[in-house]
Amino acid sequence: MNIVVLTGAGISAESGIRTFRDSGGLWENERIEDVATPEAFSANPNRVYDFYNTRRQQLFDPQLQPNKAHVALAEFARLSSVNMTLVTQNVDNLHERGGSDNVVHMHGELLSAKCVKSHETVRWNGDLTALNTCQCCQLAQPMRPDIVWFGEMPLYMERIYQAIETASLFCAIGTSGSVYPAAGFVDIARQCDVETTLINLDETDNGHFDNRYLGKASECVPRWIESVKAKYELD
How far CA 62 is from CA of 59, 65, 66, in Å, comes to 8, 7, 11
70 a catalytic residue = no
* CA–CA distance, 76 with 199 (Å, rounded to integer): 16
Q: Which of residues 210-229 bind ligand OAD (CB under 6 A)?
A: 216-217
Nearby residues of 224 by Cβ (< 8 Å), 6 or more positions away = 171, 197, 199, 213
Out of 201, 210, 212, 229, name the contact with ligand OAD by CB under 6 A.
Answer: 201
SS3 11: helix
Out of 14, 96, 109, 146, name the contact with ligand OAD by CB under 6 A.
Answer: 14
Comparing CA positions, the residue from 4, 172, 170, 199 lying closest to residue 86 is 4
Q: For residue 139, give the DSSP letter.
A: S
**Residue 99 within binding range of ligand OAD, rule CB under 6 A:** no
Out of 5, 6, 8, 96, name the contact with ligand OAD by CB under 6 A.
Answer: 8
Stretch near ligand OAD under the rule CB under 6 A, chosen from 70-78, 92-100, 172-180, 224-232: 172-180
Of 23 and 42, CB closest to ligand OAD: 23
Stretch near ligand OAD under the rule CB under 6 A, chosen from 5-13, 121-129, 133-141, 185-193: 5-13
Whether the CB-CB separation of 128 and 113 falls below 8 Å is answered with yes
Phi, psi (degrees; rounded to nearest 5) at 40 = -65, -40
**Residue 175 within binding range of ligand OAD, rule CB under 6 A:** yes
Cβ of residue 204: shortest distance to ligand OAD, in angstroms? 5
Of 56 and 107, CB closest to ligand OAD: 107
Catalytic residue among 70, 107, 119, 208: 107
Looking at the chain, how many residues does it have? 235
Comparing CA positions, the residue from 136, 86, 148 lying closest to residue 112 is 148
Out of 198, 200, 209, 225, name the contact with ligand OAD by CB under 6 A.
Answer: 200
Sign of CA dihedral 95, 45, 113, 105: positive
Whether the CB-CB separation of 48 and 55 falls below 8 Å is answered with no
Query: How many chain residues interact with ligand OAD (CB under 6 A)?
Result: 25
Residue 223 CA from chain centroid, whole number: 21
**Residue 70 within binding range of ligand OAD, rule CB under 6 A:** no
Out of 59, 122, 155, 179, name the contact with ligand OAD by CB under 6 A.
Answer: 179
Give the residue numbers annotated as catalytic, written as ranges: 107
| Binding positions for ligand OAD, rule: CB under 6 A | 8-10, 13-14, 19-22, 25, 36, 89, 107, 148, 174-176, 178-179, 200-202, 204, 216-217
